[in-house]
Amino acid sequence: MSIALLPATELALRIRRRDVSAAEAVEEILERIALLNGTLNAYCLVLAEPARRAARVLDKRLERGEEVGPLAGVPVAVKDVLWQRGVPSCDGSRAHADFVPEESAAPVERLEAAGAIPIGRTNVPEFCYRGVSVNDLYGATGNPWDPGRTPGGSSGGSAAAVAAGLAPLALGSDGGGSIRIPASFCGIPGLKPTYGLVPRAPEWPGWQTLTHVGPLAFTVADCALMLQVLAGPDPRDPRSLPALGKDYVAAAAGERDLSGLRVAVSVDLGYVRLDDGVRDAFRAAVERFHGLGAVVEEAHPGLGNPVDTWNTIACVDNAASEGPLLESGLVGDDARGLIEPGMSVSASDYARARNAMSDYAAAWGRFMNRYDLLLTPAMSLV
């Protein structure tokens, strides 16, 4: 198998053993990017020379017998919304085209400290507002399985990069499906972690209570290894959780016997319209849990669709964070259409939406006290 198509867990092990070099791994990924990115547009910026330099440094450290971290030499793609020191970090917008941060976001810092090598920045919808990945600055990203179709969004560039073998790992973020949608559309594992488990700061000001940062990867084990590196508090992010003491890598490598695991199953949460193909695929997945010994029960908390609450919070946040950019004339029409509605929401309506958000989360918490896991389809359509 090509080095470029190895799971991150195996690639890091081979590099630490010096069976292959970090330089070789980076070069193979860059060759695949050169071959495929012109079609897919997964990367909006390729960091070829910085990646090569970082690989050479890491290989020299290995020669000296130094410890280089659990992600030794693994190329990683970084979503364009996450700040990266000295690198244009544009959030898919012409209004931020000249922005070069002086400090990296905590997830980028942690991946580099663990030996990973950022190899490029991946495309997003403007300000990460949509479930597709297209913007006026960099254009549209295609799905590796069919470039004429969307990979989803807003982490569509990251998911497309992993699915096409243009990086074994990628950073994504999710405030309304932005890891889950592209993971589903591209056929790879993706994880939206518990809120605050992965610190985000420093960052853009929007969606402070909505966004989670997490991994997209070749395998579930790769997601676990990446989360192990990313999780934990950061003093710059007051929303970050204390260390939870979890071994995600060991959990991902656990027994396949699920006897006694309490699993709630809901095909539609009581309100989602689904394609028949999704129902069929979901039914097959549920049967696998039956076969592995789980105690499966059809159940959901009986809550209504929270989309109105989510839209109120998101659009007011948009108005507060990106609204000042409208006068530049550089914000696209689609993004403008998700900023301006937030300007007419009253303070009391916004407060009510925040309260409804808390009530909704509490209801889910009570429901999940009865179960270890909830299974639902990732997306409603095929």
Mean pLDDT, all residues of the chain = 96
- What is the C-alpha to C-alpha distance for residues 195 and 2, in angstroms, rounded to an integer? 36
First-residue to last-residue Cα distance in the chain? 30
- What is the C-alpha to C-alpha distance for residues 348 and 369, in angstroms, rounded to an integer? 32
Amino acid type, 92: G
Beta strands in the chain (DSSP E): 43-46, 75-79, 117-122, 134-135, 139-140, 169-174, 212-217, 262-265, 295-298, 373-375
Q: Which pLDDT score, from 0 to 100, does residue 80 have?
A: 98
What is the pLDDT confidence band of residue 37, given thresholds at 50, 70 and 90? Answer: very high
- What is the C-alpha to C-alpha distance for residues 69 and 82, in angstroms, rounded to an integer? 22
pLDDT per residue over 306-325, tens digit each?
A: 999 999 999 999 999 999 99
Q: Which pLDDT score, from 0 to 100, does residue 380 have?
A: 92
pLDDT mean over 44-70:
98
Q: Which pLDDT score, from 0 to 100, does residue 256 have?
A: 75
Q: Which pLDDT score, from 0 to 100, does residue 381 have?
A: 86
Q: Which pLDDT score, from 0 to 100, does residue 335 have?
A: 98
What is the pLDDT confidence band of residue 355, given thresholds at 50, 70 and 90? Answer: very high
pLDDT per residue over 107-149, tens digit each?
A: 999 999 999 999 999 999 999 999 999 999 999 999 999 999 9
Q: Which pLDDT score, from 0 to 100, does residue 157 have?
A: 98
C-alpha torsion angle, residues 327, 332, 335, 340 (rounded to 10): 40
Q: Which pLDDT score, from 0 to 100, does residue 243 have?
A: 86
Q: What are phi and psi of 190, to 5 degrees?
A: -145, 150
Give 349's contacts (C-beta < 8 A, 6+ positions apart): 312
Contact between 261 and 373 under an 8 Å Cβ cutoff? The reply is: yes
pTM to 2 decimal places: 0.97
CATH class for domain 3-252? alpha beta
What is the pLDDT confidence band of residue 273, given thresholds at 50, 70 and 90? Answer: very high
pLDDT mean over 185-198:
97
Q: Which pLDDT score, from 0 to 100, does residue 76 have?
A: 98
Q: What are phi and psi of 259, to 5 degrees?
A: -55, 130
Instruction: Please report the sign of the dihedral spanned by the C-alpha atoms of residue 191, residue 197, residue 202, residue 205.
Output: positive
Percent over 90 (pLDDT), the chain: 96
Using CA atoms, how far residue 221 sits from 165, 190, 204, 254, in Å, is 17, 11, 30, 10
Q: For residue 377, is pLDDT > 80?
A: yes
What is the pLDDT confidence band of residue 2, given thresholds at 50, 70 and 90? Answer: confident
Show me where the domains of the chain are located.
Answer: 3-252, 255-382
Q: Which pLDDT score, from 0 to 100, does residue 329 have?
A: 98
Q: Which pLDDT score, from 0 to 100, does residue 254 have?
A: 79
Please list the active-site residues. 79, 154, 178
- Between β-strands 212-217 and 169-174, what pairing exists: parallel, antiparallel or unpaired? antiparallel
pLDDT per residue over 287-296, tens digit each?
A: 999 999 999 9
What is the pLDDT confidence band of residue 244, given thresholds at 50, 70 and 90? Answer: confident
Q: Cis omega before residue 344 (within 30°)?
A: no
